[in-house]
Amino acid sequence: MMKKRYFIPIALVVILLVMANTKPADRYFEIAKNLDVFATLFKEVNNNYVDEVNPNTLMRSGIDAMLASLDPYTNYIPEDEIESYRTQNTGQYGGIGAITRQIGKRTVVTLVMTGFPAEKGGLKVGDEVLKIDEKNLAEITQEEAGNLMKGQLGTAVNLTIKRPGVEKPFVLSFKRDKIKVSNVPHYASVTTETGYIQLTDFTPDAGKEVRQALISLKEKGIKNLILDLRGNPGGLLQEAVNICNLFLPKGVTVVETKGKIKEHNVTYKTLNPPVDLEIPVIVLIDRGSASASEIVAGTLQDYDRAIVLGEKSFGKGLVQINRDLSYNSKLKITTAKYYTPSGRCIQVLDYTHRRPDGSVASIPDSLKRPFKTSKGRTVYDGGGIDPDVVVKNKEIHPVVQTLYINGHLFDFATQYAYSHAVPSSPAAFSLSDADYNQFVQWMKGKTYRYETEADRALQELKEQAKQEQNLATLKPEIDKIESVLAEKKKNDLMVYKQEIKQFIESEILTHYFAEKGNVEAGFKYDNELSESIQLLKNPTKCKQILDGNL
């Protein structure tokens, strides 16, 4: 007998999002009409489609497709995804404080967070987790394994561990605790006069954490500051305001939000006395710096309070809020755009005016408008934050990416860490040439394949020659090029030694020093950091940049 299935009431709420820009009476009629069409369509599909239809899956597909037609940031979060969503937005969860990664069919511990149950209970970076309680990890996905690791505070979890140098697997027991992922994983003095703060998120207390780091560094005598927002995807807008407040006077505008509804038009101002109005600041950004990161960088740039250095930022100028829906679900919806103090909106993609095929275009340079900073420097809207000093990140070569993804760098680092003494500090460690040659020998016989730009270009040439029926004629020359490229790859471990060495050092120092080691391992290879340090040594040049004279 055919089962009758009916639509989920959430559709009634979400459908409202598709209606806009019509007169109220017409709009209400359109809402009612479309709700009726949707409900009857959904019912007919469930009743009459040739195969059995899962109403939850079908509805979810419809909701996701509908919201995707608006922008990527308007999302439906069903009840079974609420915990993951809360973790993402608060940085808190019930767990043991360990990060794992899947390498092939192995689940390995890549980070043990300082001060949490994993560290206290003896878990180590490099351990392979075979089971969580009685669940064999080889039989489940990494996402499922992550969910098993999390749970109610105070509950027990047992991990069956395989450890290098230990003959048999053994079990470690932990009690889950509240894990708070720090917004500031590391801060330090990178020179006697220059402090460094890495900010990776804008979850609750981000402003407080940056404030504490800044005060601590000032107590150590720093006279300059580098605030690293590279790769920071943003988060809570109020935390961006709090961070700007550390460097700006009380009562000045940090950001304005403007939307369709009056209640979404808000001006956010600094509410507290600043920590330091004079300390020279450089803000590091890249293509991964988005949203709240761009508010901090753009606001400090607009007030000529900091030099922004690095690459153009991502360009997300849209503000989202959460709305509670039925059945314990939520809607994250874009309600406004934000504007920096100079009046610019840095949103790079125009979701309002899509192409006929539904694709989205960037705002063209011809439509970008100029704005002025406090000292009269020209800045532009519509395309992210342009750095005052451009420093390009070096692209990671495919051989390095492949060695990382395949786990070869991690496995070598694990072996190295177990057979060498712990250095006195991350800064004191460097992988010697002899150590690197050992890695090259260790790699012999291991499988790793990667495709370079030259490989892709040659493949395109072969495809084109085949279409034009010239492949047979060109084959001898193509074979020669393939042979040359293959021979070159044999030497890539030495050609790209510095890049590979950097990643190995990072993996080794993470084994030794957790988050601190991971961050400080890259200091000596960091072009943006080096440029910032050198720039801060030249106050005259810094002033010229902020005055618009360079």
Active-site annotation, residues: 291, 302, 316
> Which residues in 287-314 are b (16+ Cβ under 10 Å) and which e?
eebbbbbbbbbbbbbbbbbbbbbbbbbb
Vertex 383 angle, CA 300 and 317, to 5°: 65
Helical spans, DSSP H, in 220-277 = 237-245
Backbone angles phi, psi at 196, to 5 degrees: -130, 130
Nearest C-alpha neighbor of 44 from the set 16, 1, 2: 2
Environment class of residue 50 by beta-carbon count within 10 Å: exposed (0-12), middle (13-18) or buried (19+)?
exposed
Helical spans, DSSP H, in 444-523 = 453-467, 471-489, 492-495, 497-520
Sequential DSSP letters for 409-454: HHHHHHHHHHHSPPPSSGGG----HHHHHHHHHHHTT-------HH
Q: Decide if 225 contacts 195 (C-beta within 8 A).
A: yes
Q: Decide if 258 contacts 267 (C-beta within 8 A).
A: no
Radius of gyration of the chain (CA): 27
Nearest C-alpha neighbor of 339 from the set 367, 289, 311, 379: 379
Nearest C-alpha neighbor of 300 from the set 236, 387, 366, 383: 387
**Interstrand relation of 92-95 and 177-180 (parallel, antiparallel or unpaired):** antiparallel
Sole residue written with tokens 């950001």: 255
Look up residue 215 and give its two tokens.
Answer: 């005060």
Say how far apart CA 429 and CA 423 lie, in whole Å.
6
- Count of Cβ atoms closer than 10 Å to residue 193 Cβ: 14
CA distance readout (Å), 528 to 73, 75, 233, 306, 442: 30, 35, 19, 15, 33
Q: Report DSSP state, residue 97.
A: S
